[in-house]
Amino acid sequence: MATTIKPLLTDLVSTVSSVPPNYVRPESDRPKLNEVTFDHSIPLLDLQGLHGPNHSSVIKEIGEACQNNGFFQVKNHGISPEVIDKMLHVSKEFFHLPESERLKNYSNDPMKTTRLSTSFNVKTENVSSWRDYLRLHCFPLEDYVHEWPTNPPSFREAAADYCKNTRGLALRLLEAISESLGLERDYMNSALGKHAQHMAINCYPPCPEPELTYGLPAHADPNVITILLQADVPGLQVLKDGKWSAVSPIPYTFIVNIGDQIQVVSNDRYKSVLHRAVVNCKEERISIPTFYCPSPDAVMRPAPQLIDDDHPPLYRSYSYSEYYQKFWKRGLNAETCLDMFKI
């Protein structure tokens, strides 16, 4: 009897006791989990002081974190535990729905603004990644919310509330990052055109041989800023000084990383950093990154205020849609897409 091909990893894992060949990385490109460090932690910043007398010291901390790490964590960020809990709850509920119900949202068309898929780009990649994901466009919210899943019944309401909150946080952080570069506070927000916001809900099922594959291989984010919510299972690792370092989840905090577009606007003062997701053999991991982006027609370039005789522009001007198309076709790999736009 012919076996049915399962399009989603979540439905395949219950039927396998080893990693299928199409998920196995070449030996030179495996996570080497025994070499990962746990002693380096990314900075944890308290945003409570952002709108008070400690404003300038918080701005300075954000600038140092962007310059030295490319990643930081935030607490007292203004998003309530209730909003976070509801988002995590509906995300887990969604991935535990019957296969037939989830597959109503399935598509391999990257142009679809709401879609469930697997790995990264199944059309172009040679080796698959150990994840399923639901990708949602979420700004302007009213343009997209009607496409989102209606099951679980509370999904749309919980996700819309979460998206509004993370957008507010992204805008506040972008003002702070602009200020930390010595730019006008609204510089970054003005540079993004009409703005865009996407969210992925990643599900990394337990993996029988986690040392052979990745949830997502090393990559830098193509967008402006990413705000990541990790549930309680670790899996994010960041490259620091040539070594992979695990980032442990702290309840009700967010992990923030700057993307390629801030590297360009800052003319390389701030660098977007390689990171990856690894899997484990015991527990499913849910993570929810919010990608805050320029609108496709926004023209990205180094800020003129950061250019002088000693600091010539390092990148040409380009539309964000041109950048994103190159990133998507190229797939996730350790060489950043930025090289294609260097002068």
Q: What is the 3-state secondary structure (H, E, C) of the chain?
A: CCCCCCCCHHHHHHHCCCCCHHHCCCHHHCCCHHHCECCCCCCEEEHHHHHCCCHHHHHHHHHHHHHHCCEEEEECCCCCHHHHHHHHHHHHHHHCCCHHHHHHHECCCCCCCEEEEECCCCCCCCCCCCCEEEEEEEECHHHHHHHCCCCCCCHHHHHHHHHHHHHHHHHHHHHHHHHHCCCCCCHHHHHCCCCEEEEEEEEECCCCCHHHCCCEEEECCCCCEEEEEECCCCCEEEEECCEEEECCCCCCCEEEEECHHHHHHCCCCCCCCCEEECCCCCCCEEEEEEEEECCCCCEECCCHHHCECCECCCECCEEHHHHHHHHHHHCCCCCCHHHHHEC
* Residues 219-246: tens digit of each pLDDT: 999 899 999 999 999 999 999 888 999 9
Q: pLDDT at position 40, please? A: 65
Mean pLDDT check: name the lowest of 98-102, 119-123, 226-230: 119-123
Report the alpha-carbon angle 173-323-71, nearest 5.
Answer: 35
pLDDT grade, residue 66 (50/70/90)? very high
Contact 50, 172 (CB under 8 A): yes
Q: Which residues pair with 101 in a beta bridge?
A: none
| Crossing angle of the two packed helices 155-180 and 81-95, in degrees rounded to 10 | 130
So where are the chain's domains?
Answer: 28-341
From CA 279, how far away is CA 291, in angstroms rounded?
A: 22
Instruction: Evaluate whether 169 touches 177 at the Cβ level (below 8 Å).
Output: no
Q: What percent of the chain has pLDDT over 90?
A: 76
Whether the per-residue pLDDT at 191 is higher than 90: the answer is yes
- From the centroid of its chain, how far is CA 85? 19
Give the pLDDT mean for 20-27.
Answer: 91
Mean pLDDT of 246-275: 95
pLDDT of res. 2:
38
- Homologous superfamily of 28-341: B-lactam Antibiotic, Isopenicillin N Synthase; Chain (2.60.120.330)
How is residue 181 written in tokens?
A: 């570069």
* 333 confidence band (pLDDT: 50, 70, 90): low
Is 70 exceeded by the pLDDT of residue 77?
Answer: yes
Whether residue 82 has pLDDT greater than 90? yes
Q: 1 pLDDT exceeds 80?
A: no
- In this predicted structure, the answer to whether residue 4 has a pLDDT above a threshold of 50 is no
- In this prediction, residue 128 carries a pLDDT of 86
Q: How confident is the model at residue 6 (pLDDT cuts 50, 70, 90)?
A: low
